[in-house]
Chains A and B, each alone.
Chain A
Amino acid sequence: MQIPELKSQYVWAILMIFCYIIPGIMPLNTSFPNSSTTTNIYNLIEALPDGSTVVIGGSGVFAFDLESSSGTIPCIQQMARKHIKILNVPLAVEAVQFEKYLIDASRIETKYGGEYLYGRDWIQFPYLAGSPGSLVAFLNDIQKTCPTDVYGTPLSQLELGKDLKDYTDITLWICPHWDFPTIVQYVTGERKIPSISFAQSGAYAQYGPYMTAYPGQVFMTNGFVGGAQYERLNGIKGLGHAVIDGNQIMSILFVAFFVLGNITWLSKRTGGNKK
């Protein structure tokens, strides 16, 4: 007996129903395991001295990357509880908007009921063209490389900006962008500043081995699942939790369609021989 090939429309309909509509209407709240790496990142942030300065920056991004946002947003909220100062350092054009979005979505500013004030608790630097050269210049001399913030205000007029000198003022580098290797090389490898990437699962697959190369210094979370793990540690439900149901069902459907495709192919082959 030959099994007919499924039309694309049916594959799309099944996915639409099981991955989007059902989890959207009736969240299944499927469980997911903890990761020791995600927990280590959380503990690393908890162990930072209050008032430390952390950079969020890098290159290789399209604006508003939700996969890396799922981990970065709860991390920013955690840092806000410890009054950690945040410097947003974009090394790509759309990174400026993405980093500003991360602060907005974290709701840590006074205009959203938080305690953070621009200039006092966080600064958005302008796009630094020419990375990695501009990154090295920034690390070596912040004032000369970035004399103003993104709005053109001189650093000397910003409470947080006036005392910044160089990389010795930076406790930790968080990279929610794709180009994590540049950060690992120049920030962690050369200047021994620990780095964290709230990575897209594709980036995690490529750059995960850096964690082995720099044990205890380089950390990565794995896509939406890593983001959901971080949200759980932080006691919130956000972008990561919203995707977990669809992620689970998709991975089951992937295997199911793989098996069905091969059964279909085998049935045709067997049917053809009989003929």
Chain B
Amino acid sequence: MLEGSGKKTKDVWPLQLYGLILIFAWIIMGTSVGMYSDTYQTIFLSTKITLHIAILGQIIFFYISGAYRTFRLKSLRTAALALSAVLIIIMNSPWMQNTWVGAGDFSYWLLNNPQTGGARAVVITGAIGAVVLGIRILLGLEKGPTKVTEGG
């Protein structure tokens, strides 16, 4: 908190002071009224969680901005990725499910078959990769993270 801002300490001291006051206020409140009391719960909901939800609400902006900037049909691969995303979005949207009764079932079929197949392939591949990595480390064939960062 004190060093992570990347600014000079003299510039950020009000934020540091604010953070310190918050930390001590929450510690005092948690130990005096209890973490599961109505008071603590109400204050937690009104402050931290409200901010948390506001930050989560911003995801939609990145989501749409991403659809505009990155989902461009430049090649077969990007087209497959972009069209899959668009298909899932459309089939899950209430207006499409109102228009076409089978949209919900089709969306669930997509999740249940192609999506599950792909997801399982990723999990199995990752697991095999982890085992192979473990064997390579045991045999001394793999550079550890420290050696990589040291450039050795």
Q: In the complex, which residues of chain A have a beta carbon less than 8 angstroms from the beta carbon of B57?
A: 20
Residues of A15-53 contacting chain B, CB below 8 A:
15, 19-20, 30-33, 35
Instruction: Convert A237-258 into 0s and 1s, putting 1 for each residue whose CB lies closer than 8 angstroms to a CB of B.
Output: 0000000100110111111011
The answer, yes or no, to whether B18 is at the interface (CB within 8 Å) is no
User: A64 near B: Cβ within 8 Å?
Assistant: yes
The smallest C-beta distance from A12 to any residue of chain B, in angstroms, reads: 5
Q: Is the CB of A33 within 8 A of B98?
A: yes
Q: Once bound together, how far apart are the Cα atoms of A30 and B119, in whole Å?
A: 33
Question: Which residues of chain B are within 8 angstroms of A104 by Cβ–Cβ distance?
Answer: 38, 41
- Give which listed residue, A31, A97, A253, contacts B36 with CB less than 8 A: A97
**Total number of residue pairs linking A and B with CB closer than 8 Å:** 114
Write the B105-131 contact mask toward A (1 if CB under 8 angstroms, else 0): 000100110011001000000000000
User: Least Cβ distance of A240 to chain B in Å?
Assistant: 11
Q: Are A258 and B86 in contact (CB under 8 A)?
A: yes
Interface residues of chain B: helix, strand, loop or mixed (majority):
helix
The answer on a CB contact under 8 Å between A258 and B44 is no
Q: How far is the CA of A258 from the CA of B38 in the complex (A)?
A: 46
Q: Contact check, A261 vs B67: say whether CB atoms are below 8 A apart.
A: yes
The residue in chain A whose Cβ has the minimal distance to the Cβ of B103 is A33
Closest to A32 in B: B94
CA distance A247 to B108 in the complex (A): 18
Question: In which size bucket is the chain B interface?
Answer: 35 or more
Query: Is A186 an interface residue when CB atoms closer than 8 A count as contact?
Result: no
Residue A1 lies at the interface, judged by CB distance under 8 Å to chain B: no
Q: Which of B36, B60, B112 contacts A100 (CB 8 A)?
A: B36
Q: Which residues from 39 to 88 on chain B have a C-beta closer than 8 Å to any C-beta of chain A?
A: 41, 44-45, 49, 52-53, 57, 60-61, 63-65, 67-69, 71-74, 82, 86, 88
Task: Judge whether A19 and B119 touch: CB under 8 Å.
Answer: no
Of the candidates B36, B73, B74, B94, the one having the most CB atoms from chain A within 10 angstroms of its own CB is: B94
Nearest 6 Cβ contacts at the A-B interface: A251-B93, A32-B94, A257-B68, A261-B68, A33-B97, A64-B49
